[in-house]
Chains A and B, each alone.
Chain A
Amino acid sequence: MPNQPKFKRYVWELPVRWCHWTNVMSIVVLCVTGFFIGTPFSFGKSASDFTMGWIRFFHFTAAYLFTVSVISRIIWSFIGNRYSGWREFFPLATLKGREKMLRMLRYYLLLDRKVPETIGHNPLATSAYVCLFFLYSLMILTGFALYAQHAPGSPMYRVLGFMYALFSNQGMRLAHHFSMWLIVGFVINHIYSAWLMDIKERGGEISSMFSGYKFTVKKED
């Protein structure tokens, strides 16, 4: 039904959009600078250069921005509208969620031609976001634990003391480094899916993350 009328619906509130794009920008900076921290080129021309110093400075600045953004988004999941609420992220917990998820999965696996319309997050996506938030936490905890090693005994070091019990020093670096690739894997999947659903739903999926509005067949829930 190409010409059916659609309703404009406000889905993503400002904090959700802000957190999303702050995360995107800081993750790009963190991945690029992180990659250089892991595999630096000999870019220094003289000993008074500060190339690696600046790269690390940007990594740590982006790290703080990222952390604040992630924490804000988690807090918003208790304040914001139902599309941003924490319940949306556990579709497997409800019967309806499981049904939606099955429909989505059948569509993605090319078993079904009917494009399920999702007003908020799609339930497969939210499950991926839960994994992603786990990776976020891992990056933040291992990142700050590694960072705090320059000042052992500092409050930051003591708060993160449990991390040194969970990981060996080098194991923590490996986890921090390797999880970057898992995040990169998610991003590839995520941008593809956003593009796919934008085309297939014709509901303004991608622009919704900028404007907050989606266009749906149904007027009210």
Chain B
Amino acid sequence: MGKEDFETTPNDLEQGLEKRKYSVGEILRERGVSRRDFLKFCSAVTAAMALPASFAPRVAEALDEVKRPPLVWMEFQDCAGDTEALLRAANPTVGEIVLDILSVDYHETIMAAAGHQAEAALEKTVNDYKGKYLCVVEGSIPMKDGGIYGCVGGKSHLDRARQVCGNAAATVAVGTCASYGGIAAAVPNPTGAVGVKEAVPGATVINLPGCPVNADNLTATIVHYLVFGKIPALDGHGRPLFAYGKRIHDNCERRPHFDAGQYVEHWGDDGHRRGFCLYKVGCKGPATFHNCPTQRYNEKTSWPVGAGHPCAGCSEPAFWDTMGPMYKRLPNVPGFGIEHTADKIGIGVAAGAAAAFAVHGVLNAVRKDKEPSDETREG
């Protein structure tokens, strides 16, 4: 993508829009971020993008140059948890500032503007920067009954998604709801909730599932877009490979205990206190692709398994319906009572077969059969 892509056009003379010409590096300097912190940030984000460390200076160079694109943050059926994840850190990081300077145009939870004024700002961005602005979506989109289950400013979420995501250069779906419908889409899915890609199939969508999204992955995705001018390589579920290309189980700090055969058997037992593997208490790490063990949450403080709770599999499609029960390894067998595990039914099948053949065997033993002879043989 050429530099001029985000340059303002001659008729955009308003100051607010003119400011967009500033490079990201320039804005950071204005905000008092030291060069050293900026370079540290570039190294961290290079690592998050799973690029070799030698890329860090190139990332810095590119970020110095690139013009910031406008960004809008849409909230649909959500809990604002992803916004929280982004904002609640105690010390603002360079990453937050990068996102912060990008997100001025529209963000329902944190913007100063309200009502018609806010909607007008969104309208303006969408019209003036058609195909050039970035969009971040939080929350699922209800499709049932014409999408009447969620409206903002008199327009349904579905209509807004079509307009805003459909005209964006790229849409980042943050959190599991925006990616795949999430909890709102769990059976019976009363509102017909779906993720962005399903609601607006024509849009360019990057899914960053997780509950909530890891803010570092969001920063890395946006930096990737700014630096390379294109979206990162995605897996079959539309997730960037740099963050979702490995299984939790294969990077987990408790993995040596898994291989050794040391498991937490009950909550708070000796194994639990000693940090053993959570496999037997329902860990879904073996079924979940995410970089939680390496990237961690809240400025790399911790993550669920690190804190002693089994992985819930929240970053997989349809996780609420397919990853349960949370504290059991395998799903319950559909069509049987909730407490029937595959093993109970399986042992029943095997025991039933054994019993039936035992009876059959006894009956056969007491019976006098006619051995094969010329008349009974087959030809």
Contacts and interface: CB of A to CB of B under 8 A. Distances in A.
Interface string B232-247: 0001100001000111
A118 B256 CA distance: 54
26 contacts: A38-B343, A42-B263, A42-B265, A43-B261, A49-B260, A100-B378, A114-B375, A114-B376, A116-B378, A117-B372, A153-B241, A168-B317, A168-B322, A169-B322, A170-B284, A170-B287, A170-B322, A170-B330, A174-B330, A177-B330, A184-B346, A185-B352, A185-B353, A192-B360, A202-B372, A218-B377
A217 B241 contact: no
Contact of A117 (B261, B330, B345, B378): B378
Given A117-B372, A152-B247, A177-B330, A51 B353 contact: no
| Most chain B beta carbons < 10 A, residue from A40, A43, A221 | A40
Interface residues of B, number: 63
B340 to A, nearest CB: 11
List the 8 closest pairs (A to B, CB-CB), nearest first. A181-B346, A117-B372, A44-B261, A51-B261, A44-B260, A169-B287, A168-B322, A53-B259
B371 to A, nearest CB: 6
Contacts of B375: 114
Contact of B263 (A40, A108, A164, A201): A40
A203 B378 CA distance: 14
Contacts of B354: 188
A188 to B, nearest CB: 5
A172 B259 CA distance: 22
Contacts of A182: 346, 349
B260 A117 contact: no
Interface string B177-199: 00000000000000000000000
Contacts of B263: 40, 42
Contacts of B317: 168
A168 B318 contact: yes
Contacts of A40: 261, 263, 279-280
Interface of B: 235-236, 241, 245-247, 250, 256-263, 265, 271, 276, 279-280, 284, 286-289, 313, 316-318, 322-323, 329-331, 333, 342-343, 345-347, 349-350, 352-354, 357, 360-361, 363-364, 367-379
Contacts of B289: 152
Nearest to B257: A47
Nearest to B265: A42
Nearest to A46: B260
Nearest to B270: A42
Contacts of A117: 372, 376-378
A192 B177 CA distance: 53
Interface residues of A, number: 61
A181 B318 contact: no
A201 B377 CA distance: 10
A110 B366 CA distance: 12
A74 interface: no
A52 interface: yes
Contact of A50 (B259, B322, B346, B364): B259
B245 A116 contact: no
A171 B331 contact: yes
A42 B353 contact: no
B108 to A, nearest CB: 33
Nearest to A150: B250
A73 to B, nearest CB: 24
Contact of A113 (B236, B279, B367): B367
A115 B372 contact: yes
A110 B287 contact: no
Interface in A180-212: 180-182, 184-185, 188-189, 192, 195-196, 200-203
A178 interface: yes
Contacts of B276: 42
Nearest to A118: B378
Contacts of B347: 181
Nearest to B375: A114
Contacts of A166: none
A113 B261 contact: no
Given A39-B343, A113-B368, A115-B369, 6 more contacts: A46-B260, A52-B260, A113-B370, A180-B346, A184-B350, A200-B364
